[in-house]
């Protein structure tokens, strides 16, 4: 069991009618606020007006950077950073899903860099300073509202790069489940697949760690499996939206990691699919997850699958471990492709094998992905082929 540091200093306002705290939280960091948002969903839902009202009420100066794309582009990060420099912004306010929050994180870092923000993503330029970030989350999925990472795409080079740095942690996040009532069935399903995979990337680990953390992860997974279909069929179900929202934050805020220091597997593979084909992150993960599980199941890993099958899917514990393991993969496929109604193959979404070789090479950076089971380029290509 490894020692670890746990330090997540994001202040969370959870629940309805908390936006009244927004003005004073922003004012704590300065008077010039850059509001960052996506393609306009916040205008349709009325959240934009509510946020602007609070900013004005607090007597703060408002600037805007809109049009952050799903799979946010580095060009948008550069655009936001330019506004920060020109307008001498003090604090950033991200209102949206993971894409908006991720872009805002790197806008805050690029505001202190004179070159292309891509240099920060490729770690050619270190993060030397940053602007504080406040978020209002509108989609439960990535956990960006309470983690220190972000993922940015470069369309020209077909790259999608994730980067973690402690300064990227939001200072404050407003998590009001009612702000997710308008998330459609498909995005709700993709969000559930994403948060479920965040937990699986940590849970599937053969190193001994805290039993308590495995129980927490099993509870989080059961929560997602229980409430995602409720939110899909009854979008304004507060209990379902609230459970999904808090589960998304806790799936990836570092708590469940404990002392486990294991690299992730599905995420680097999925980021290549999104980089080449600009698909929704959660959909790519849904397609990869059961194939990755199947590929990594053998006599050395079966005990973890057995634990997963018995504790998460209530499979009969008296069955043979390998039988339980295989059934657990069937049950997660059933959940992803039937309950969540997500497409189950890359072929269905128009992706063929033409770029698999280069995507596999990039996913493991020409070496090995050192996750649950180490995967080399050929292994990754094999997993991509299983997804056709």
Q: How far apart are CA 42 and CA 95, in angstroms?
A: 8
**187 scored as a contact of ligand NZQ (CB under 6 A):** yes
Residue 147 touches which member of Zn ion, ligand NZQ, none, C-beta under 5-8 Å by kind: ligand NZQ
CB of 148 to ligand NZQ, least distance (A): 8
18 contact choice in ligand NZQ, Zn ion, none (CB below 5 to 8 Å, kind-dependent): none
Sign of the Cα pseudo-torsion (289, 292, 295, 297, in order): negative
Q: Does 151 bind ligand NZQ (CB under 6 A)?
A: yes
Say how far apart CA 295 and CA 31 lie, in whole Å: 53
Enumerate residues 6+ apart whose C-beta is below 8 A from 62.
33, 35, 52, 55, 56
Binding mask of the shown chain, residues 129 to 148, with x at each position contacting Zn ion by CB under 5 A: --------------------
CB of 175 to ligand NZQ, least distance (A): 12
Nearer to ligand NZQ, 76 or 142 (CB): 142
Q: Is 170 in the site for ligand NZQ (CB under 6 A)?
A: no
Q: Say how many residues make up the chain.
A: 388
Asked if 38 interacts with ligand NZQ (CB under 6 A), we say yes
The nearest distance, CB 249 to Zn ion, in angstroms, is 13
Work out which of 54, 116, 194, 201 binds Zn ion, going by CB under 5 A: 194
- Binding of ligand NZQ by 235 (CB under 6 A): no
**Angular region, 177: left φ>0, alpha ψ -120 to 50, beta rest:** alpha
Region of 34-42, 217-225, 237-245, 356-364 interacting with ligand NZQ (CB under 6 A): 34-42
Min dist. Cβ of residue 322 to ligand NZQ (A): 30
Helix orientation angle between 302-313 and 321-334, rounded to the nearest 10 degrees: 60
**Rounded CA gap, 377 and 155, in Å?**
23
**Which residue from 66, 76, 154, 179 is in contact with ligand NZQ, where contact means CB under 6 A?**
179
The helix/strand count (H/E) of the chain reads as: 15, 10
Instruction: Choose the stretch contacting ligand NZQ; rule: CB under 6 A; options: 27-35, 50-58, 170-178, 186-194.
Output: 186-194
Long-range contacts of 187-190 (CB under 8 A, 24+ apart): 187/139, 187/141, 187/280, 188/140, 188/228, 188/231, 188/232, 188/235, 188/244, 189/228, 189/232, 189/282, 189/286, 189/340, 189/341, 189/342, 190/141, 190/280, 190/281, 190/282, 190/283, 190/286, 190/342
Based on the shown chain and the rule CB under 6 A, indicate whether residue 177 belongs to the binding site for ligand NZQ. Answer: no
What is the spatial distance between Cα 42 and Cα 51, in angstroms, rounded to a whole number?
10
Tell me which of 55, 77, 125, 141 binds ligand NZQ, using CB under 6 A. Answer: 141
Name the residues that contact ligand NZQ, by CB under 6 A.
Answer: 38-42, 45, 70-71, 96-100, 102, 138-139, 141-144, 147, 149-151, 179-180, 182-183, 187, 191, 194, 252, 267, 281-282
Name the residues that contact Zn ion, by CB under 5 A.
Answer: 194
């Amino acid at each position: 069991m490894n020692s670890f540091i746990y330090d997540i200093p994001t202040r969370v306002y959870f629940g309805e009618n908390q936006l009244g705290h927004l003005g004073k939280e922003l004012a704590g960091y300065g008077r010039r606020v850059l509001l960052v948002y996506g393609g306009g969903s916040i205008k349709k839902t009325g959240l934009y007006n509510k946020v602007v009202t609070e900013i004005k009420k607090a007597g703060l100066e408002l600037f805007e950077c809109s049009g952050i794309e799903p799979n946010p582009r580095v060009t948008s990060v550069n655009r936001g950073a330019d506004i920060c420099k020109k307008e001498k912004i003090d604090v950033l306010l991200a209102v949206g899903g993971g894409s908006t929050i991720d872009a805002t994180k790197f806008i805050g870092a690029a505001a202190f860099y004179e070159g292309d923000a891509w240099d920060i993503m490729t770690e050619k330029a270190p993060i030397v300073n940053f602007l504080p970030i406040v978020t209002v989350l509108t989609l439960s999925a990535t956990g960006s509202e309470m983690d220190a990472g972000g993922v940015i795409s470069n369309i020209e080079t077909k790259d999608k790069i994730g980067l973690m740095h402690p300064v990227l942690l939001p200072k404050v996040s407003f998590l009001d489940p009612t702000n997710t009532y308008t998330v459609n069935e498909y995005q709700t399903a993709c969000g559930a697949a994403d948060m479920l995979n965040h937990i699986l990337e940590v849970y599937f680990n053969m190193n001994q760690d805290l039993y308590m953390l495995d129980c927490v992860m099993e509870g989080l997974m059961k929560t997602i499996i229980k409430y995602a279909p409720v939110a899909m069929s009854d979008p304004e179900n507060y209990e379902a939206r609230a459970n999904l929202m808090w589960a998304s934050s806790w799936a990836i805020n570092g708590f469940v990691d404990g002392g486990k220091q294991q690299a992730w597997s599905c995420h680097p593979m999925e980021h290549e699919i999104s980089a080449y084909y600009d698909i929704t992150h959660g959909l790519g993960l849904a397609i990869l997850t059961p194939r990755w599980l199947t590929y990594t199941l053998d006599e050395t890993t079966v005990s973890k699958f057995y634990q997963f099958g018995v504790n998460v899917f209530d499979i009969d514990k008296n069955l043979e471990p390998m039988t339980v393991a295989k059934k657990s993969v069937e049950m997660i496929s059933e959940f992803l492709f039937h309950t969540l109604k997500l497409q189950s193959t890359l072929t269905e979404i128009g992706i063929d094998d033409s770029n698999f070789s280069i995507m596999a090479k990039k996913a493991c950076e020409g070496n090995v992905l050192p996750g649950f089971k180490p995967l080399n380029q050929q292994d990754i290509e094999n997993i991509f082929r299983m997804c056709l």
